[in-house]
Structures are given as structure tokens and as C-alpha cells.
Amino acid sequence: MAACLQLNAKPFSPLLSPNPVSTGTRKLGRISCSAASPSKRHTITLLPGDGIGPEVISVARNVLNLAASIEGIEFKYQEVPVGGAALDLTGVPLPEETLLAAKQSDAVLLGAIGGYKWDKNEKHLKPETGLLKLREGLKVFANLRPATVLPQLVDASTLKREVAEGVDLMVVRELTGGIYFGKPRGFGTNENGEEIGFNTEVYAAYEIDRIARVAFETARKRKGKLCSVDKANVLEASMFWRKRIMAIALEYPDVELSHMYVDNAAMQLVRDPKQFDTIVTNNIFGDILSDEASMITGSIGMLPSASLGESGPGLFEPIHGSAPDIAGQDKANPLATILSAAMLLKYGLGEEKAAKRIEAAVLDTLNKGFRTGDIYSAGTKLVGCKEMGEEVLKSVDSLVPSSV
């Protein structure tokens, strides 16, 4: 099944709802006996990557397996290297075999990429180059990054409760164009003989139009408000961006469109984040603003993402980095990866019931007071990556999601 964008699909609803479940009586040890025989089969490519990536992917895989066994789904996994791990094994950050495996699967789940070990590599040998080439190779141009402040974690936000409480926004980021991919790029010498580095911010009309339609459809199925973020007071590429966004807006008269310069948007996200519902922006601005939005929720370790194209498998990954400082110490928060697995089920495979089961399990685990270090506060129980995963597994088994 291709994880393509369906503009007439079900709404891009908030990933988590505070009260989506009722409790059941299933016992964890009974899963293999009571689960239905698999009636649906999917192939998932796992890309553990670097740093904490292997740890969080291992936990997410266990959660996927349990949810699948309950819902009558069978997964076939292909685990292949990418990023620094691939560099160490093959000498390149994205081996051809890895890209081929990803393309031939129904969905791709990525852990994290990068680390200090490879920081001094030439650009084409940096782990991050592998991620950019993976996105380009899969042709996933629309990156959906939800940022929802859960009631259980409102006090984990660095913002005041009255500012953070109730925040629920979606950043729709263009992913395969702009300054990260634009040409010309490189190094050279200017007319004064000085060394220079240069990049190009460039967008074609079709690139803006397609991400605009995704954003308008997303906004239409949320609260009907879309804010397009650019720098049209300075950059010609942003002026063109705004022109195309306004042209596509004529197709969506029911969606309230506003525009905001990126510097103001960065300020408004911390001043009054509840003013936003859906944000659409280019590659580099979306990269920065979605990371900023993540901290409103309390931790970057809580936020998943989905990257989708017009056809082929989608790419699902937590938005956090590889965190090499805590890699291998059982300190990582696996919830963003678990929730990315839920997005994989929902948007990539159309398995809504299994997705809701996982989302519900994450909420239940938080309700019980379990916290990794990044979201810990007084009165909660500090756990590591593995134990957090075990608690989510218990909740996956015991909770019955509401009907789809």
C-alpha cells in the first residue's frame, strides 16, 4: 500500500485526544492466544540510524507488533542502515540497498541520524546528507508535524500554563525544495579573492501549489485557519511563495488565510501559540519553527512526524535528533517514535484502529505518571527508555480504543 497523500482522505485530526479509550480486561500474556489471525500484511522498512535511534526504534517495533497482533495485522520488517551507521558499514550515508528497500516497502520508520563522530566529514559524507537523499528518493514533499500540549504535560512546558494549555497546532512543511536542495550551491571565491559559501532558495510553482493544497486541506479538516509563513518583505522566493499561496487560496474560500513573516511567527509561537491552527511554510522555516513548537509541548522527545508524497511509501520519524550524549544509556524518550509509529499506521497504512490503540496507550502511560527525564517533574515516576516502552505495551494490551 502506498502512503500517498489523499486530499479527500479523513481529517488530519489531532494525534492524541485526552479521553479516547475505555479499559478492557485483556491480559498481556494472552495476546498470542486471543489475537485474531492476521488478515492484513504490510512491509515496513526500519532505519534505526544513529545515537538513540536504535533504542527508540526497538521500543516502537515492540509496540507495533503488539498492536498488530491484537488488530489482526502482520508486519514484515526490513532493517537497513542509514546515516552514520551506513557510513561506518558501507562508506556512504545512504546505500543504494537502503533506498531500494525503502521504496519497495509500504512504509518507512526512521529513528535518528547524526552524531559528533561524523561532524567533520565532507558534506557528501555527512549522515544528514543521507536523510536528505532519502526524502528526495522517496519523493515525500509534505511533512506534517503536530504540536499538541497534552493535559498531562502542560507543566512540562517552559511557557506559563495559561500560555501553553490547550495548544494544538499542525506545521505543514515543504520538504524537498528550497534552500536545502536548491542549486547553485557550494564554495568558491569572490571578486576580492575571498572564500565564500553559497546556497540557493528556489521554488517552482508546482512545488508551492502542491504543498499549499495539502495545507489547505489540512486546515479545512481542523479549525479552518491557515497561516502561511514567509519572508516576503525581503526575499524574492518568499514573494513568489506568497503569490502562489494566494492563488491556491481561491480554491478554498472556506479556509481563513493569513500571512506572517517568519521572524514574527517565531515570536508569536512563544507569545501566543493558541492563535495558530495550521501553519504552512517552506523547508528551512518549517524545520526551525516546528522544533520551536515542539518545546511548547514540553519536550522535543514527544513529537512525531509524517512525510508523505503523491505515491509510494511515507517516511515516519520523531523530530528529535540522535542525542549522542545519552545514546546507549537507556535515557531516551521513546514516545515520539511510538507516536510516529501510530502516524505510520494511520496515514501510511490506513490502519486507524491500531493507530488509535497506540495513541491511547501513550496517554494512559502518561496518566499513570511514568516519565522519562526530559518530561519528569516532581510527583511522577522517572523511568528509562525500556521501562517506558514496557509500560506502553501494558497499556496497548489493556485499552480498547473508541471505534474509528
Side-chain-facing half-sphere of 278: CA atoms under 13 Å = 28
pLDDT category at 59 given cuts 50, 70, 90 is very high
List, in order, residues 6 or more apart from 77 with CB less than 8 Å away: 43, 44, 45, 46, 61
Is residue 10 in some structural domain? no
pLDDT for res 36: 43
- Give the Cα separation of 139 and 120 in Å (integer): 28
Mark which of 298, 324, 349 sits at the end of a domain.
298
**pTM, to two decimals:** 0.82
Is the same domain home to 217 and 265? yes
What is the per-residue pLDDT across 78-108, written as a single tens digit (0 to 9) for each?
Answer: 999 999 999 999 999 999 999 999 999 999 9
pLDDT for res 3: 54
Is the same domain home to 240 and 313? no
Instruction: Supply the DSSP symbol for 274.
Output: G
Picking from 14-23, 309-318, 360-369, which range would have the lowest pLDDT averaged per residue?
A: 14-23
What is the per-residue pLDDT across 174-220, written as a single tens digit (0 to 9) for each?
Answer: 999 999 999 999 999 999 999 999 999 999 999 999 999 999 999 99
Is the same domain home to 314 and 381? yes
How much is the mean pLDDT over the chain?
90
pLDDT for res 18: 42
Is residue 17 in some structural domain? no
Instruction: Count structural domains, the chain.
Output: 2
What is the per-residue pLDDT across 295-327, written as a single tens digit (0 to 9) for each?
Answer: 899 888 899 999 999 989 999 999 999 999 999
Q: Which of 58, 121, 56 is nearest to 327 (CA)?
A: 56
- Does the pLDDT value for residue 272 go beyond 50? yes
pLDDT for res 80: 98
Mark which of 240, 265, 298 sits at the end of a domain.
298
Is the same domain home to 158 and 270? yes
Is the same domain home to 330 and 343? yes
Is the same domain home to 125 and 158? no
Is residue 271 in some structural domain? yes
Q: What is the mean pLDDT of residues 370-390?
A: 95
Helix, strand and coil percent figures for the chain, each rounded to 5: 45, 20, 35
Is residue 96 in some structural domain? yes
pLDDT for res 35: 39
Is residue 249 in some structural domain? yes
Is the same domain home to 275 and 373? no
> Whole-angstrom distance between the N-terminal and C-terminal Cα of the chain?
20
Is residue 8 in some structural domain? no
Is the same domain home to 139 and 238? no
Is the same domain home to 307 and 277? no
Looking only at the bridges linking them, the beta strands covering 73-79 and 40-49 are: parallel
Is the same domain home to 264 and 344? no
Q: Which of 314, 368, 329, 354 is nearest to 55 (CA)?
A: 329
pLDDT for res 256: 98
Share of the chain above pLDDT 90, in %: 84
What is the per-residue pLDDT across 215-242, written as a single tens digit (0 to 9) for each?
Answer: 999 999 999 999 999 999 999 999 999 9
Is the same domain home to 256 and 351? no
- Give the Cα separation of 103 and 313 in Å (integer): 6
- Indicate which residues carry an active-site annotation: 180, 231, 263, 287, 291
Mark which of 263, 298, 333 sits at the end of a domain.
298
Q: For the residues of 86-145, what is the DSSP string, one character each?
A: HHHHHSSSS-HHHHHHHHTSSEEEEEE---GGGTTS-GGGSHHHHHHHHHHHHT--EEEE
pLDDT for res 5: 58
Is the same domain home to 343 and 391? yes
Is residue 164 in some structural domain? yes
Is residue 33 in some structural domain? no
- Give the Cα separation of 131 and 65 in Å (integer): 26
pLDDT for res 398: 87
pLDDT category at 400 given cuts 50, 70, 90 is low
370: domain CATH number is 3.40.718.10
Asked whether the beta carbons of 401 and 356 are under 8 A apart, the reply is yes
Structural domain that includes position 180: 154-283+292-298
- Does the pLDDT value for residue 404 go beyond 60? no
pLDDT category at 15 given cuts 50, 70, 90 is very low
Query: For cell 478554498, what's the residue?
Result: 252
Asked whether the beta carbons of 59 and 396 are under 8 A apart, the reply is no
What is the per-residue pLDDT across 25-53, written as a single tens digit (0 to 9) for each?
Answer: 333 332 232 334 556 899 999 999 999 99
Query: For cell 550515508, what's the residue?
Result: 93
